[in-house]
Amino acid sequence: MKKLLVVLALVALVTSAVLAVSGCGGKSKKKGSVEICALLPDTKSSVRYTLFDAPLLKAAFTAAGVNGQVLNAQGDTQTQITQGQQCVTNGAKVILVDALDSGTGVSIEKAAKAAGVKTIDYDRLVLGGSSSYYVSFNNVTVGMLQGQALVDAMKAEGIMGAGKKPVVAELDGAPTDNNATLFAQGGDAVLAPYFKSGQLQQGPKQAVPNWDNQKALTIFEQMLTKTGNKINAVLAANDGLGNAVVTALKSHKLSAIPVTGQDATPQGVQNIISGWQSMTVYKAVPLEAKAAAAAAIAIVKGTKVATNGTTADSVGHRNVPSVLETPTTVNKANYQILFTDKFLKKSDVCTGTYAKYCKTYTKPY
């Protein structure tokens, strides 16, 4: 009888200990779990990821009372894949994927799907992926705005028309980025008729690996050498690539030419107000981040995700339900909208040698 009592006492003691450990483990998991993960690609291709996306997404998650985490791969594909795995391990229900390239995105989304985790393509569509939604801007429209602005600038500066055939070079974004393909598609759609009619002459055209601005500088230097400096305008996919053109022109002591951009960065706007860049495309990242956060939060809370269209995944042969925001052209005439919208601080643009340009205004292209 005594032996039985001892055994029962030991069983009770072990059971109590197990329950205690289980209870602690459960509380620890709940406390440390991540409901939403956002995977950003880098800080090199655009300053937007540091200035806007990361803080805006974090703020949206906090405001919704959702435990969210924002990670940046710093341009390393394996790091981004590992971060995706960590998100799954930490209990994420949704992962926002702004993939460095589609191959990386597919790996992340495949692992997430196997674990029952939903994914949302953020800013860049993952070709061949398995995301539930896509949140971005209409990227073909972005390219069309760039192309039209370039034509308008050439006409305004008198380098187009009356038998002139200005040479237009093109610096496209990373060949692994589907957005870059869409930007080029939109820009080329505008310029193609002018090339065909002979009003414009198609010059060197090259994609810039990883959106690397230093590589863009080298590429454009080579373009200048190849053409004997005879490039009259440049369709540059974003402000970083546009600034590479500006840097090369200045180093060769060449005059400013029409150059496009995108992202409405402080540097891009400084180039615009000082006459070295024709325009930039303002993609109100707060709208995009808010929409992406709202979609992820809706999935976590089991509510409906509001979409306004679909986007074709040519590799996956599917149409992805999408939330697409509208981009805006920004030039000398309306750049102050960036200050009004609190997208940029005036002090970030109108500083140093650029302060004088903020006091003068010229007609837009």
> Are 160 and 122 contained in the same domain?
no
Q: What's residue 272's pLDDT?
A: 98
Residue 3 belongs to a domain: no
Q: Which of 6-10, 88-92, 263-267, 297-301 has the lowest mean pLDDT?
A: 6-10
> Are 275 and 143 contained in the same domain?
yes
pLDDT per position as a tens digit, 208-222: 999 999 999 999 999
Indicate the average pLDDT of the chain. Answer: 90
Please give the helix or strand (H or E) that residue 120 lies within, else none: strand 118-122
Q: What's residue 51's pLDDT?
A: 86
Q: Which of 17-26, 197-206, 291-300 has the lowest mean pLDDT?
A: 17-26
> Are 184 and 247 contained in the same domain?
yes
The pLDDT-based confidence of 48 (bands split at 50, 70, 90) is confident
> Are 293 and 247 contained in the same domain?
no
> Are 353 and 205 contained in the same domain?
yes
Answer yes or no: is pLDDT of 255 > 70: yes
Q: What is the number of domains present in the chain?
A: 2
Is 129 in contact with 109 (CB distance < 8 Å)?
yes
Residue 324, helix vs strand vs coil: strand
> Are 186 and 212 contained in the same domain?
yes
> Are 210 and 196 contained in the same domain?
yes
> Are 72 and 145 contained in the same domain?
no
Is 94 in contact with 118 (CB distance < 8 Å)?
yes
Strands 118-122 and 133-137: parallel
Q: What's residue 33's pLDDT?
A: 87
The pLDDT-based confidence of 46 (bands split at 50, 70, 90) is confident
Please give the helix or strand (H or E) that residue 131 lies within, else none: none
Of 296, 302, 290, 284, give the one whose Cα is nearest residue 96.
296
Residue 2 belongs to a domain: no
Of 165, 205, 357, give the one whose Cα is nearest residue 275.
357
The pLDDT-based confidence of 296 (bands split at 50, 70, 90) is very high
Of 3, 270, 259, 302, give the one whose Cα is nearest residue 150.
259
Hey, what are 283's tokens?
A: 């993609």
Q: What's residue 220's pLDDT?
A: 98
CATH number at residue 148: 3.40.50.2300
Please give the helix or strand (H or E) that residue 163 lies within, else none: none
Hey, what are 353's tokens?
A: 């040698």
Please state whether the predicted TM-score (pTM) of the whole model is above 0.85.
no
> Are 50 and 66 contained in the same domain?
yes
Give the rounded percent of residues in the chain with a pLDDT score beyond 90. 85
What are the DSSP E strand ranges found in 123-267?
133-137, 167-172, 201-207, 233-236
Q: What's residue 360's pLDDT?
A: 59
Residue 26 belongs to a domain: no
pLDDT per position as a tens digit, 324-352: 999 999 999 999 999 998 899 999 999 99
Residue 7 belongs to a domain: no
Answer yes or no: is pLDDT of 355 > 50: yes
Distance CA 177, CA 224 (A): 26
Radius of gyration of the chain (CA): 25
> Are 302 and 244 contained in the same domain?
no
Residue 70 belongs to a domain: yes
> Are 234 and 346 contained in the same domain?
yes
At which residue do the structure tokens 């996956």 appear? 316
Residue 21 belongs to a domain: no
> Are 320 and 337 contained in the same domain?
no
Of 242, 237, 238, 241, give the one whose Cα is nearest residue 256.
242
Residue 92 belongs to a domain: yes
Is 195 in contact with 201 (CB distance < 8 Å)?
yes
Distance CA 280, CA 338 (A): 11
pLDDT per position as a tens digit, 65-111: 999 999 999 999 999 999 999 999 999 999 999 999 999 999 999 99
Full residue range of the structural domain in which residue 277 is found: 139-283+332-359
Q: Which of 21-35, 136-150, 240-254, 325-339 has the lowest mean pLDDT?
A: 21-35
Residue 203 belongs to a domain: yes
Please give the helix or strand (H or E) that residue 34 lies within, else none: none
Residue 331 sits at the vertex; the CA angle it makes with 326 and 337, to the nearest 5 degrees, is 65
